[in-house]
Structure 1
């Protein structure tokens, strides 16, 4: 009887572990390649540390028409970073989970060289809400999944 009791306890423990894992599977992951709302860039989101990271992997216009060279981070206020290529540029790293399907942290905006408080929320299997705030002023856009 002691053996069966141990087996029953093991099954109950295993079931308790499996339920949260199965529940977590219902929330889509943000990992994959996402196109920005304007369609001007694609960002690869991957897991990193205990959160997520996002890196620019392609641009609609990868070449700067003024220079004929690859687009660079020329709006960055740090002169040491202003010549780094946009493709490969980390937009966010270490965004941490704050709720099911939602991560929070900082996001870099290459359009103006600013870093903002931000959140990323999985709206569906194919859409992601990316929001950023400066003080009380917030804005956001919807990104569309284009690949894994």
Structure 2
């Protein structure tokens, strides 16, 4: 009986250790034009990445035409990486990442974190100047 109880405690502890961070999931961007799915980066479970998972139907076939790399201008925006390389600073808070803006073709230093109301604060920074957006869970 003790062995069963001990196994149950271990499985509960392991389950909570493997629980998804509150940042993980699908988020509707501030303007409502797209959704980004945030999850551990492929091959780097300690980092978070995000890919565009949905676009308005009018934009569904859009390409990355503003990208400064001519080879990437024809890639579809749908499915492309938008966030990468985030390291956990605390539960629900991630820093040290990058965010790509397909509207401008620019990449920014970024940090993300869940607000008390359950929304996601997404910041993009150049030097010390940062701009933030609020995304809603989808």
Shorter-chain TM-score range: 0.7 to 0.9
User: For 1:37, which of 30, 33, 38 is the aligned residue?
Assistant: 30
CA contact (8 A) 1:37 1:142 kept: yes
Structure ID, larger Rg: 1
User: Please, which moves more after superposition, 92-101 or 44-53?
Assistant: 92-101
The alignment partner of 1:34 has SS state of strand
User: Runs of 4+ in structure 1 displaced over 3 angstroms?
Assistant: 61-64
Q: Which residue of 2 aligns with 1:142?
A: 134
- Structure 1 regions of 5+ residues with no counterpart? 1-10, 65-69
RMSD of the TM alignment (CA)?
A: 2.5
The alignment partner of 1:54 has SS state of strand
The 5-angstrom pairing of residues 65-84 of structure 1 reads: 70-84=61-75
Q: Which has the higher strand share?
A: 2
- Structure 2 regions of 5+ residues with no counterpart? 1-5
Q: Please, what TM-score do these two structures have when normalized by structure 2?
A: 0.78
The 5-angstrom pairing of residues 1-148 of structure 1 reads: 29-48=22-41, 49=44, 50-63=46-59, 70-104=61-95, 105-124=97-116, 126-146=118-138
Distance 1:35 1:97 in 2: 21
State how many pairs are aligned. 123
Distance 1:125 1:47 in 2: 23
Q: CA deviation at 1:51?
A: 1.5
1:7-63 deviation digits (Å, cap 9, x = unpaired): xxxx9xx89xx5xx58x97x9521111000110110111122212110001112444
Distance 1:46 1:62 in 2: 26
